[in-house]
Amino acid sequence: MPTESAAVLLRDASAADLPAITAIYAHHVEHGTGSFETVAPGQQQMGERMRLVHSRALPWLVAEVGGETAGFAYANWFRERAAFAWTLEDSVYIHPERVGAGLGSRLLAELVLRAEQAGARQMLAVIGDSANHASVALHERNGFRHCGVLQSVGWKFGRWLDVVMMQRPLGPGAAQAPSD
């Protein structure tokens, strides 16, 4: 398992990070089952996704190690309907050479904090592939609980894949009504 010797800087992502973000995500699309996309989006499409997240005043973060973007995480609306306005879905992706160094936990913890500050009340993890033990463990370490498994809902790499649903409350969670 790699360890980080250089300082890790967690910061807001910007357009300057898009080449690295696009490459990191492309690797996971092309080689992993954490994303159910089968064709990696290009830099323009990733930029559109980032602009959408930012337009909603939601966090998109990068982990920088030695001046290089080593991973990213963002939160976006779980669904577009108004009743879901306080429920976010997280996404966390780490450069393949940096996996296992703790960057995912640091990014997810900061993402949770920023989502709480934005007024969100629930965060969902929609984890591709029930065999994705690293992502499940990452979310467990960050206070998520298992909600269920959607069995055989994705087809990738010639096999059916499950989706693991996990959830954690943010701030007061469901204990009080959200403030507009």
At residue 63, does pLDDT exceed 50? yes
Average pLDDT, the chain: 94
| β partners of residue 75 | 90
Please tell me the pTM assigned to this model.
0.93
pLDDT score, position 4: 46
Angle between helices 43-55 and 18-31 (to 10 degrees): 110
pLDDT in tens, 117-128: 999 999 999 999
pLDDT score, position 179: 80
pLDDT score, position 5: 54
Instruction: Name the pLDDT band for 135 (thresholds 50, 70, 90).
Output: very high
Report CA-CA distances (Å) from 23 to 26, 27, 29, 84, 108: 5, 6, 10, 31, 20
CATH of domain 8-169: 3.40.630.30
Domain boundaries, the chain: 8-169
What is the mean pLDDT of the segment spanning 129-142? Answer: 95
Residue 150 is which amino acid?
A: L
What is the mean pLDDT of the segment spanning 58-74? Answer: 96
Report CA-CA distances (Å) from 15 to 21, 31, 39, 59, 75: 10, 25, 22, 14, 17
Question: Which of 146, 152, 151, 150 is closest to 168 using CA atoms?
Answer: 146
